[in-house]
């Protein structure tokens, strides 16, 4: 069974195991390190505990942390927008878990915040993530050409959005 939960100190080993994968970090921001060490996991879990309500949740499958999802309310003139980000351990890809995790994330956001839009920014090459978003009723809103610079290469970024019709 898939759940979104708060991280605990008991999650350090499983977080390290699944996050320490170059195939995951290749299509994430540089703040997500590789190699992903136990020390990184300790710092990350402590960081997740600084938000009320929680903005970063563990993706838990069969009682093991297999990824993470972040839902970050924006500030100032973007105060009715939430930015979504997520990753999933490679051994769990192509099972529908990311799609389900994003659906649970949307439900969580609806319970926690009054927002009109959730945005998700995706590397153009990350077709599986794009499919996850489309299955969750996101629409592709824009292409930001050469907006990402990672490992010496420019990448296009796709900007997806989910509208909460209740607040439009």
Q: What is the pTM of this model?
A: 0.96
How many domains does the chain divide into? 1
The DSSP string of 109-136 is HHHH---SEEEEEEETT-HHHHHHHHHT
User: What confidence tens digit (pLDDT) does each residue in 18-53 have?
Assistant: 999 999 999 999 999 999 999 999 999 999 999 999
User: What confidence tens digit (pLDDT) does each residue in 66-110 have?
Assistant: 999 999 999 999 999 999 999 999 999 999 999 999 999 999 999
**Residue 6: domain span:** 2-120
> Does residue 158 form part of some domain?
no
> Does residue 152 form part of some domain?
no
> Does residue 11 form part of some domain?
yes
> Does residue 106 form part of some domain?
yes
Domain containing 46 — which CATH number?
Answer: 3.40.630.30
* Total count of residues recorded for the chain: 168
């Amino acid at each position: 069974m898939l759940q979104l939960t708060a991280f605990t100190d008991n999650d350090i080993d499983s977080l390290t195991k699944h996050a320490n994968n170059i195939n995951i970090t290749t299509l994430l921001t540089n703040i997500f390190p590789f190699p992903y060490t136990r020390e990184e996991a300790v710092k990350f879990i402590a960081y997740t505990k600084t938000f009320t309500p929680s903005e970063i949740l563990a993706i838990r499958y069969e009682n093991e942390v297999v990824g993470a999802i972040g839902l970050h309310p924006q500030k100032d003139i973007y105060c009715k927008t939430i930015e979504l980000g997520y990753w999933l351990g490679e051994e769990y890809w192509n099972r529908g878990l990311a799609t389900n995790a994003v659906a649970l994330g949307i439900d969580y956001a609806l319970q926690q915040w009054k927002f009109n839009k959730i945005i998700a920014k995706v590397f153009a090459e990350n077709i599986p993530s794009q499919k996850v978003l489309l299955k969750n009723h996101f629409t592709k809103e824009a292409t930001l050409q050469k907006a990402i610079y990672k490992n010496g290469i420019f990448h296009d970024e796709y900007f997806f959005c989910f509208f909460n019709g209740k607040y439009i």
